[in-house]
Amino acid sequence: MKKYFFRNLTLITFTLLSSYSMNAQVRQQVSTNYDRNSLSVLMLDAGDPYSVQLSKLMDSLKIPEKYFDNSLNISTVPIRVDRAKIAETDSYRKIVPQEQVFEALKQSKVANLAIANWFDRKEDGSFGVKTLAERGVYNATDNDMLVATASKRGTAGLMDMGMGLVDKSYFIVLDFAEILSMSEQYERDSIPADQRTMNGFQGKVNSYVYKLDFSEPVAARFFQDLWISGESDNKEAKRALFDQTDFPLVYINTFSEAVSSTQLNPGQKGAPAVQRSSEEMLESLMDMAYENSLLKLENTTDEFRVKGMVHDVNPIAVKIGRKEGLKFDQRYFVYENRQDRNGNVYSKRKGVIRSMSVADNRTLADGESEPSLFYQVAGGQIDNMGMFVEQKNASGINLFAGYTEGGLSGGGLRLEILLSPFLYEGFAKSGPAKGMTGWKIYLEGAYGNQEFLYDDGLAKFGFYRGSLGISKEIYLTRNVFLDPFVGYGLEGGSPPEDTGESFDSQFIEIGSRLGINIMHNVQLMPAVNLYAIVKSEYLETKESEPIKITYADQFDGRGGAGLSLGLRFMF
């Protein structure tokens, strides 16, 4: 088993390095521009089951602070959809053609409603610029403020920045294409009555994303032909013309995913003492679909990824914070723009950083805003001579595959989940908190076989073990870190013959891994482990009474210190 593991480990490492070398040759320029987008969230209403209940819950969806809230006075968009016909060609996702969604949005005049929000349209059809000016000032950075105060117009010039933000108005349109209650799903799949243990909802949700096109030609026509103020002529004609105008929308993307919100039925082991209502579970399902759509939008759309200049080093500081939706221990890439021999500008990644403080900058910029602080987890030296950062979301989930020799030997997998953001929001909430970075909870499972005396001869026992614990990354250099851990686990051993016998133990594990970056999201990790057996039992059969034993007497040399080696993949 060891031979195959280390052979595969070498092959995987070589493949990763080759892939990294090939990808490093792709040269692209990363935009340094970032402005706040505005969001409107809508739901397609095709008269599907649960449409009425879901539409009543739309007001519960909140626009994150990272965006301007451009909520409209409608929350649903009627659409005529032949679900059965769509399923003939797209049985899994059931995506409505984007042209059909576009037509439904046009009929509901969502673009007009968004523009009316931006320009404070009143009942008489007249417009104003209060919202536009306020958003322009709020969007300004410290650098914008310093430039503005040095100009003749002063900070009044910042209000003009709001005009460019109108073109950054986005619409997320949720389509609950197929939602079934668990009872309906059990009936559809003919699940036996004794296996119908859950209640709640499951289904598929498609999210269609569009952007308002308020480019210069569109804006020019709006101000020339449709703008109404106190002194305007032909107010009624312009008002009617605005209502009749179809402002253009641009299709951005479609996201699809399965969602569920379920709970165990009363009487089932582990069922909640107080059952959530159907409305609460539908609301949870809707929240999940909405939040996942936003995450996918950030991951796939450049305009939704936060960017900022490196303001300082030692520690690394960037003037972004809660206003930009920054989270604790969130990942950012650091870039530097360079020029090739042909004069083409490209961006070279210089490092990877994570936040260790989140500045509360939800105020107007004054030129002296507090920066958020970061620590480096990969790459080379970072400076503040033109380098910039870009948001690169990570899932906070890591997977380690390795082999342990000695101790409780065997090959295993470790799943890690980042805890730091929850610790920070629960305890610190503000200020630097380097001690809270890199905390993870892990779940590990392993299997190994080893020869021991059994029935006056040697027999190869199989050992299964699992453990739960916590660990903390401590960076020694930019690309090397310690990862001490402590956990509690169970191990079961059985002889090769199916005799029904089993040897069960409980253990405490402590140790430390050394992380060495191969890539920013892949590490080679040797480790020292110590396993302390705290309880052991022997069962002749599953029904027999357990007999306490001494593990070391039964399995001489199993337990104690061990060494391991493996790869960790960060997602």
d(CA 284, CA 259): 10
**Residue given tokens 């309880």 in the structure block:** 535
To which H or E segment does residue 525 belong?
A: strand 522-539
CB neighbour class for 285 (10 Å; exposed up to 12, middle 13-18, buried from 19): buried
The one-digit pLDDT tens for each residue of the chain (571 residues) are: 555 555 555 555 555 555 554 444 457 889 889 999 999 999 999 999 999 999 999 999 999 999 999 999 999 999 998 888 888 888 777 889 999 999 999 999 999 999 999 999 999 999 999 999 999 999 999 888 888 878 777 767 777 788 999 999 999 999 998 899 999 999 999 999 999 999 999 999 999 999 999 999 999 999 999 999 877 778 899 999 999 999 999 999 999 999 999 999 999 999 999 999 999 999 999 999 999 999 999 999 999 999 999 999 999 999 999 999 999 999 999 999 999 999 999 999 999 999 999 999 999 998 899 999 999 999 999 999 999 999 999 999 999 999 999 999 999 999 999 999 999 999 888 888 989 999 999 999 999 999 888 877 788 899 999 999 999 999 999 999 999 999 999 999 998 877 788 899 999 999 999 999 999 999 999 999 999 999 999 998 888 888 999 988 889 889 999 999 999 999 9
What are residue 561's DSSP bridge partners?
530
| 117-170 confidence digits (pLDDT tens) | 999 999 999 999 999 999 999 999 988 888 887 877 776 777 778 899 999 999
Q: Which of 271, 300, 329 is the last residue of a domain?
A: 300
Q: Which residues of 59-77 are buried (b: 16+ CB within 10 A; e: fewer)?
A: eebebeebbbebbbeebbb
User: What range defines the domain where residue 330 resides?
Assistant: 305-391
- Same domain, yes or no, for 486 and 552? yes
CATH number at residue 476: 2.40.160.70
Q: Tokens standing for 199?
A: 């209640």
Residues 236 and 320 in one domain: no
Q: Are residues 444 and 529 in the same domain?
A: yes
Domain boundary among the residues 267, 300, 333 is at 300
192 and 47, same structural domain?
Answer: yes
Residue 2 lies in a domain: no
Q: How far is 494 from 384, CA to CA, in rounded Å?
A: 60
List the beta strands (DSSP E) in 96-185: 169-181
Contacts of 62 (CB under 8 A, 6+ apart): none
pTM of the predicted protein model? 0.91
End-to-end alpha carbon distance in the chain: 27
Sign, Cα dihedral of 88, 94, 95, 99: positive
Does residue 19 lie within any of the structural domains? no
> Same structural domain for residues 387 and 400?
no
Regarding whether 160 and 51 lie in a shared domain, the answer is yes
The neighbouring-strand residues paired with 257 are: 205
**Number of compact structural domains in the chain:** 3
Q: Clarify whether residues 289 and 378 are in a common domain.
A: no
Distances 3 to 8, 9, 344, 504, 513 between C-alpha atoms, Å? 9, 10, 48, 28, 22
The answer to the question of residue 16 being in a domain is no
d(CA 247, CA 38): 17
Residue 135 maps to a domain: yes
* CATH classification at residue 367: 2.40.10
Domain boundary among 250, 284, 300: 300
How far apart are the C-alpha atoms of 563 and 406, rounded to whole Å? 6
Residues 264, 154 share a domain: yes
Examine the domain organization and report whether 400 and 384 are in the same domain. no
Q: What radius of gyration, in Å, describes the C-alpha atoms of the chain?
A: 29
- Identify whether 235 is part of a domain: yes
Say if residue 51 is in the same domain as residue 131. yes
Co-location of 283 and 231 in the same domain: yes
Longest dimension (CA), the chain: 107
Residue 69: name the closest of 59, 55, 80, 84 by CA. Answer: 59
Amino acid (1-letter code) at residue 106: K
20 part of a folded domain: no
Using DSSP, state whether 509 is helix, strand or coil. strand
Whether residue 411 is found in the same domain as residue 519: yes
